[in-house]
Amino acid sequence: MNSKQKAFLQEKFHDRVTFDKAERTLYGHDIAAIPKLIKPLIGNTVPEAVVQPTKEEELVELVKWARAHKVPLTPRGKASSGYGGVIPVKNGVVVDFFRMKDVVSIDKEGLTVTTEPGITWEKLDKQLMREGLTLRLYPTSYPSSSVGGWLAQGGAGIGSYEFGYIRDNVISARVVLPTGEVREFTKDDLDLIADAEGITGLISEVTLSVQPHEELDVVAVGCPDAHDLQNLIDSIIEAKLPIWSMVFINPRMAEMKNRAPLLEHHGHPVEPRVQLPASYILTIAFRAKHSDTIRSALENLIKQCEALVGLYASKEDEA
């Protein structure tokens, strides 16, 4: 990057651009380390600059400038996926969406929220809860991943048993295309944005479907055998129980959770120690109003795998 290009970025972004080598190095990877077998193939991944836009208009100007000067742009949310989607393999400029994290509007009647892409799911959920709403689904990296990042990455998460993939819950997305044009993607056209890792353009705004906030109940079921777990899941699906979320871990993961230290605050644990059995543990979350129906059904279904049953805290309790 030459001095004129650096001067343009400095003039437009002021203290929201960095050319510092140490800072740029931090943007050369995501939450995971680049595998040793892959690193020689992609070479140097340190960007030449990092910018933090605050609004769509700045994205438009940046994209037009980058196109004119053939400078690669790499969008970056919270870099929490660990799959390399935010690594600037062509160096250039990393576009960090850290400052674009405002909620634009909440429609309580229409059950939608429009937000900037850099907000984390946890912060968005907290704002929704003030309005009596909550997310329909969220990634397991709920406290640290961004809305735009998950749409660009794609995938499923907590709540996907009922509501599907993130793509299925997006109503529209505003995107700054490589030409600098701003386009709103809806319906089938969203397939060009979801799972595309930012290749289609820079996501500047997302409108999502949300749901009324209700108390949740959570049950954990431990099956000693993987086949029994599969049969139990098949039976639950066949019974069409009103379940919101369903996830499982294997015995090795249960052992690792038992060994993991508890969360602490000023040296004191902030969560109880739950000793998990060496089993395939299925965790089921559902609305509290359906507790009697689901617990009654589970009493019969779990007999086939001699399961152990326990009660976990709800998301509201954990918050």
Q: CATH code at 176?
A: 3.30.465.10
Residue 60 has pLDDT above 90, yes or no: yes
Strand ranges (DSSP E) for the chain?
17-18, 49-51, 73-76, 93-96, 103-107, 112-115, 133-135, 170-176, 182-186, 202-212, 216-223, 245-249, 264-265, 268-269, 280-287, 308-312
Give the pLDDT score at 270: 66
Last residue of a domain, one of 185, 212, 239: 212
Give the pLDDT score at 147: 98
Range 60-89 average pLDDT: 94
Total domains in the fold of the chain: 3
Asked whether residue 109 falls in the same domain as residue 205, the answer is yes
268 versus 72: which is more confidently predicted? 72
Q: CATH code at 313?
A: 3.30.70.3450
Give the pLDDT score at 313: 41
Residue 116 has pLDDT above 50, yes or no: yes
Give the pLDDT score at 174: 98
* CB burial of residue 255 (10 Å; 0-12, 13-18, 19+): middle
Asked whether residue 171 falls in the same domain as residue 92, the answer is no
Give the pLDDT score at 300: 83
Range 154-172 average pLDDT: 97
Domain assignment of residue 232, given as a range: 216-318
Asked whether residue 206 falls in the same domain as residue 111, the answer is yes
Asked whether residue 123 falls in the same domain as residue 146, the answer is yes
Last residue of a domain, one of 56, 72, 96: 96
Q: Measure the CA–CA gap between 105 and 270, rounded to whole angstroms.
A: 34
Asked whether residue 190 falls in the same domain as residue 231, the answer is no
Residue 242 has pLDDT above 50, yes or no: yes
Q: What is the pLDDT of residues 182-238, one digit of tens each?
A: 999 999 999 999 999 999 999 999 999 999 999 999 998 888 889 989 999 999 999
